[in-house]
Chain A
Amino acid sequence: MAGVVAAAALVRLPDSGVLAPKQPKPVLAEAPVIGNVAITPEYRRLTLESPAIARSAQPGQFVMLTIARPEDPAPVLPRPMAIYGWDREAGTFDVVYRIVGEGTRRLARWEAGSAMVVVGPLGRGFTLPDRKGSVLFLGRGIGTCSLTSLAGEATAAGFQLHAVASARHRDALVGDEVYRAAGAVQVVTATDDDGSSAPAVLRELLAPLSGGDLVAVYACGSNRLLALGVELASATGAEVQVSLEAHMACGLGFCHGCAAGRPGLPHETPLVCADGPVFRYASPGGGER
């Protein structure tokens, strides 16, 4: 969701790529801001209180945040943000973001004590396979923040978690502690500046998975990582799921700002918001994985 993947360029998305619905009813909440702090040199974490959202959210779902304050005409569009994690007992959930433009600059100015309009949980999230074994998470930059909410769920369900958090440089890494806290058996942090994010390097580190019990690959934020995941998955017949990002205005399915369909077809499905943001990846060569 919060990745940088261009939907149309990346994946063939047949209707069958839409995952089975597992959608709690979304709510509109005026959620108290519990915290909005820097967690790394590049990323900030916004914590909002909404028991309805925190208790029903599924891994890979997202929220729409209204960044504009009531007295302010900007920004007009809310921002779709992956749910980074939640505390179901406390009724809070987290969103992790990087300041990239005017919208996120304004988001950073929200302080604890105020209440933000938020709609969620939205979209179809990740699903875990029936077959137990190893699962591989491949996230790059902010894209990792779409995967973190699945980590604890996967390990609690008995899957062996292998995770790659990739970024341009060390300050841009995020999410690896979540994987460690979830009990991952392998956490790889990979960066461009020391060459550790190169596909050849990662392929070697992850090679044992393709000869083993890999049952699912979850990717967000990088075409190269997705391609590597598809390659590893093909050896074991593992399923590949990818979370996509798109510009959105409504998050519910009526604005059609995020249609990811193929041009020239009358039908606009899938919509990233309502049919995704998580899709089952089908390789251009044919069969679904």
Chain B
Amino acid sequence: MSGTTSPPRVVVRLGSLELANPIMPASGCFGPELGQIVDLNRLGAMVTKTVFADPRSGNPAHRLGETYGGMLNSVGIPSDGAAAFAAELLPRYRAWSPPTIVSLGGLTEEEYWVAAERLADVDGIAAFELNVSCPNLEAGGHELGAVPAAVERVVRGVVDRVSVPVIAKLTPNVTSIAAIAQASEAGGAAAVTAINALQGMAVDPKTRQSRIGTTTAGLTGPAIKPVALRCVWQAARAVSIPVIGVGGITTVDDVIEFILAGATAVQVGSATFTRPDTMIRLVDELEERLIAMGVADIAELVGALELGPAHHDLAEEASAG
């Protein structure tokens, strides 16, 4: 409707990291292999699968399942380890221009630090995203992300060892995601990502078995979008660092909703499986939508949710009392 206006500004910042646009993949739902069929140079950033310090195998089959509007996965983060990642996989990302955010994992606080140390001086890493939230790890791996003090120590330990921005990816499987976000900020995180997968499950009534090898799994996709929006909203109100929103984002409406709730950038996960060109379409449609909305800079929309007179902040009440 707005005639000959200049294109809206979609550049966003995560600490010292500047992205050409706010659209990036969710860790685990992306790899350079996708570049065979879509132009990865259009993305705001690329996010690797989670890298552990040492090699580890993933979970037994079945690793994938489907629920209405969602999917279950229990891949369990197979990793060739930090050294092999730096030598073999990371160079494949460098064929593309967007910054590469490397996801780090661990079962203990020290494992994150070791992984960070091994990658600290490697060229081509624009930021680290700490996966303190995978629902499919053995004991230790997911409890850690539910304890604010542990998250703060993990983040601080990595921040002390690297020179690029550190992002903490938060689990929704906690009572107060605001508390975990605040702990991340206290530890020196440049941003937080909300949310990782919800814990979920699917049962085959005929065989009386879980449809997933590990019985429980991570639920993602449009089915979790309302939970993710709520978490982004609560995290964004609790911290002054940027929030990266993720959880069921499929359409440009979803992107706008997450940004209004407080997200500075967004990640796309399951929707890349549904349609591998989803992120590229969102980059295109976001610009069109901002023009239609009369928004000159996407920053105007971040956290611009308008609260009605009946607004009722359950989280604030919970933490107050």
Contacts and interface: CB of A to CB of B under 8 A. Distances in A.
Given A76-B69, A78-B274, A256 B221 contact: no
A248 interface: yes
Interface size band for B: 35 or more
Given A103-B66, A255-B75, A250 B58 contact: no
B62 A254 contact: no
Interface stretch (B28-36, B117-125, B157-165, B170-178): B28-36
Contacts of B32: 254
B71 interface: yes
A264 interface: yes
Contacts of B222: 73, 76
Given A76-B66, A76-B274, A265 B36 contact: no
B57 A119 contact: no
Contact of A77 (B60, B71, B277): B71
Interface string B52-87: 000111101111111011110101001111000000
Interface string A56-95: 0000000000101000011111100000000000000000
B202 to A, nearest CB: 12
Contacts of A267: 55, 57, 80
Interface in A231-259: 246-250, 252-259
Interface string B180-196: 00000000000000000
Contact of A254 (B38, B49, B66, B250): B49
B61 A28 contact: no
Contacts of A113: none
Contacts of A266: 55-57, 78-81
A211 B247 CA distance: 60
B37 interface: yes
Q: For the complex, would chain B's binding face be called helix, strand, loop or mixed by DSSP majority?
A: loop
Q: For the complex, would chain A's binding face be called helix, strand, loop or mixed by DSSP majority?
A: loop
B64 A74 contact: no
Contact of B63 (A28, A74, A119, A257): A257
A77 B273 contact: yes
Interface centre among A28, A66, A261 (most CB of B within 10 A): A28
A147 interface: no
Contacts of B312: none
Given A266-B81, A274-B33, A76 B57 contact: no
A8 interface: yes
B57 A255 contact: no
A278 B29 CA distance: 24
Given A117-B275, A119-B37, A247-B62, A254 B31 contact: yes
A115 interface: no
Contacts of B221: 73, 76
A77 B64 contact: yes
B66 A75 contact: yes
Nearest to B273: A249
Nearest to A265: B57
Nearest to B272: A250
Interface in A189-242: none
A119 B56 contact: no
Contact of B66 (A77, A258, A263, A265): A77
B69 A259 contact: no
Given A254-B31, A256-B49, A261-B57, 4 more contacts: A103-B66, A250-B273, A257-B75, A263-B60
10 contacts: A8-B61, A66-B274, A68-B274, A73-B68, A76-B270, A247-B62, A247-B63, A250-B272, A252-B33, A256-B58
Q: Give me the 3 closest cross-chain CB pairs, A-B, nearest first.
A: A254-B31, A266-B55, A73-B222
